[in-house]
Copies of this chain bind each other. A is one copy, B any other.
Amino acid sequence: MGALREDELIDVHTHVVPESFPRYLGRHADAPWPSMAPAHACHAHVMISGKVYRTVSRQCWSCSVRLADMDRQGVARQVLSPMPELLSYWMAPEDGVAMCRFLNETIAGMVAEAPARFAGLGAVPLQDVALAIEMLQDLRPRHGLVGVEIGGNVNGTPIGDARLRPFFEAAAALDLAVFVHALRPCGLERLVGPAIFEQVLAFPGEVGLAGASLITGGTLAAVPSLRVALSHGGGTLAALLPRLHHAWRKLGSVRDLLPADPAEEARRLYIDDLVYDAPTLAHLIEVFGSERVLAGSDYPFAIMDDDPAGSIDELAAVAVLDPELRTLLRGANARRWLGEADAVAGAVKGADVGTSKPEARG
């Protein structure tokens, strides 16, 4: 993949749903194993426990449709990850293993169809951390996947909980990128409106608290080589960090818990730029650093950003978008997050840009 031009656009936030699922072969009568049912032209219903979970288009599984869309959008490469509900943390561990193996094979197959245009993130059954670590070993050597997608919580346990620390240590040791996506978010009971508001209004809080837990639980400090990216612009995390920093500065009890400034720790995280608003994106670049922001669109779902290239270019209206920053956001940061060797060398150049913070505001 070294043949990509330096400023080619990498969309790190795109989802896959398999065209069909294998028959359930487990032993749990009520397992919420998904299946597909035909819907209107080019669409299918994802059925879970007898109900339509979501109706999706063949963009979800067809490489040729995706490639045509990418060409139209100017996207050089998509990073493929499972539709998060498929992570199946609520299934019995052995069923989770079967589902994750199927997802990993599906995504590996899509990457193999166009290896210059796709990179793949796999799934592991985090409801059983030991099994998850076992499956992590296979992702790169067996499936050619470069990372793993996880939820912000695992059946209610935030990912910064100490019980999940071994997973993050293994991901770092195996040189795998980690992508944190909202999944069964907190705060649903506070929404007034239709079901789509789960994605619109509850996802950001879930991702924000997941990111905060990686700081307050000590994961980022303990696993310095971890390369972890938060989806949806880090959700609400940017709004939480100044309060956390203030509490850390003012309260001895918080400083005893967190040796390093949590707002500085947060700059170890990557985030995608999926915030639909140039001033918000400019603010996030200040908070997390210009080397930490990745292009992401949520392709091909209903609230996707149809123009990920344009969303970066719109930054120019509110901040200085110099060629170096544009290159970082379009792909150099993503290549560093994905662990591509030539991008790591480029990161040194990126670091210079990152320190010129005031320029980013204009």
Closest chain B residue to A193, Cβ basis: B216
Taking CB as reference atom, which chain B residue is nearest A253? B194
Interface residues on A, range: 35 or more
Instruction: Give A223-265 as 1s and 0s: 1 = Cβ < 8 Å from B's Cβ atoms.
Output: 0000000001101101110111111001101100100000000
Which residue, of A186, A217, A251, has the highest number of chain B Cβ atoms within 10 A? Answer: A186
Contact of A302 among B192, B213, B250 (CB under 8 A): B250
B254 lies within 8 A of A196 (CB): yes
A166 within 8 A of B: no
Min C-beta distance of A276 to chain B, whole Å: 4
A125 within 8 A of B: no
Q: Are B192 and A161 in contact (CB under 8 A)?
A: yes
- B201 pairs with A187, CB closer than 8 A: no
Q: With an 8 A cutoff between CB atoms, is A46 at the interface?
A: no
Interface of A is mostly: helix
Beyond A204-B243, A236-B239, A283-B283, whether A209 also contacts B190 by CB under 8 A is yes
- Provide the residues of chain B in CB contact with A216, threshold 8 Å: 191-193, 197, 201
| C-alpha gap A362/B277 in the complex (Å) | 18
Question: Contact partner of A194 among B235, B236, B257, CB < 8 A?
Answer: B257
Q: How far, in angstroms, from A242 to B362 measured CA to CA in the complex?
A: 21
Task: Specify the chain B residue showing the minimal Cβ separation from A358.
Answer: B318
**CB-nearest residue of chain B to A319:** B361
The 5 closest A-B pairs by CB, nearest first: A242-B277, A236-B236, A190-B209, A192-B217, A246-B276
A residues contacting B by CB (< 8 A) are 152-153, 156, 158, 160-161, 186-187, 189-194, 196-197, 200-206, 208-210, 212-213, 216-217, 232-233, 235-236, 238-240, 242-247, 250-251, 253-254, 257, 275-277, 279-280, 283, 286-287, 302-303, 305, 318, 361-362
For this complex, 16 residue pairs linking A to B, each with C-beta atoms less than 8 Å apart, are A158-B191, A190-B213, A191-B209, A191-B213, A191-B216, A194-B254, A194-B257, A201-B216, A201-B240, A204-B240, A205-B205, A238-B280, A242-B280, A250-B303, A251-B303, A283-B283
